[in-house]
Amino acid sequence: MKKSLFNFSLILLLLVFIRPAAANVSLLVLGDSLSAGYGISEGDTWVAEIQRQWEQEQPDYQIINASISGDTTQGALNRLSSVIDRHQPDAVFIELGGNDGLRGFAIESIRNNLSEMIDYLHGRGIYVALSQIEIPPNMGRRYTSSFNAVFREVAENHEVTLVPFFMLEIAIDSDLMQSDGIHPNLDAQPVIAEIMEPELRQILDRVKQL
């Protein structure tokens, strides 16, 4: 009888102390220079800042930076399948379109490229979030208005999360911008990380509940 009680107590202790490790979930950032960190070392980008924070606070969450400076929606679409095959993420955050807009690419082309990316990712069972992107009115009021609207339109049509554009708070502070007036500087990276970390954490929280 005593032996049976001992064995039962041992099993209870094992159940308490030996728990299965939390399943890791990963989010891939598919972006351009705003996320790649133009003029900044890879380890100093806002994406790297978030990864360091998660290593301490949320070790089962991982963020992968697959951003390329100068990338467009078409360029990202062309490389999407190979990126996904390589990293196998659970979620993708798309931060693209700025270079398309600054070059005056057709709105329909931007819409189609974003839609194709989202359809492909959904077909792979991957959760998708899309960043709102905004550009200065250099291309004229009509183009700028149509450009700024296309991201919400795509997000609504494909039922994906639309994340506010993180540059809105950065671009108005010259101390956080590089001399070109387009790219955030080194000092801006922790600020962007503070803005984006709760947004991206929520995305992976949702993924874990699926």
Q: Which pLDDT score is estimated for 106?
A: 98
User: What type of residue sits at position 11?
Assistant: I
Q: Domains in the chain, start-ordered, CATH in brackets?
A: 25-209 (3.40.50.1110)
- Helices 107-123, 141-158: axis angle to 10 degrees equals 20
Q: Which pLDDT score is estimated for 18?
A: 42
How far apart (Å, rounded) are the C-alpha atoms in residues 177 and 171?
A: 7
Q: Which pLDDT score is estimated for 84?
A: 99
Give catalytic residues, as residue numbers: 33, 180, 183
Q: In what order do the strands lie in the sheet with 127-131?
A: 61-65, 25-31, 91-95, 127-131, 161-163
How far apart (Å, rounded) are the C-alpha atoms in residues 28 and 93?
A: 6
Instruction: Kindly state the tokens that stand for 186.
Output: 């080194």
Query: Across-strand partners of 27?
Result: 63, 91
Instruction: Kindly state the tokens that stand for 85.
Output: 């095959």
How far apart (Å, rounded) are the C-alpha atoms in residues 118 and 132?
A: 14
Q: Which pLDDT score is estimated for 16?
A: 42
How far apart (Å, rounded) are the C-alpha atoms in residues 184 and 113?
A: 26
Q: Which pLDDT score is estimated for 104?
A: 97
Report CA-CA distances (Å) from 130 to 80, 143, 171.
15, 20, 20
- Is 97:154 a contact under the CB 8 Å cutoff? no
Low-confidence residues of the chain, pLDDT below 70? 1-23
CA neighbours closer than 13 Å in the CB half-sphere of residue 198: 5
pTM above 0.85, yes or no: yes
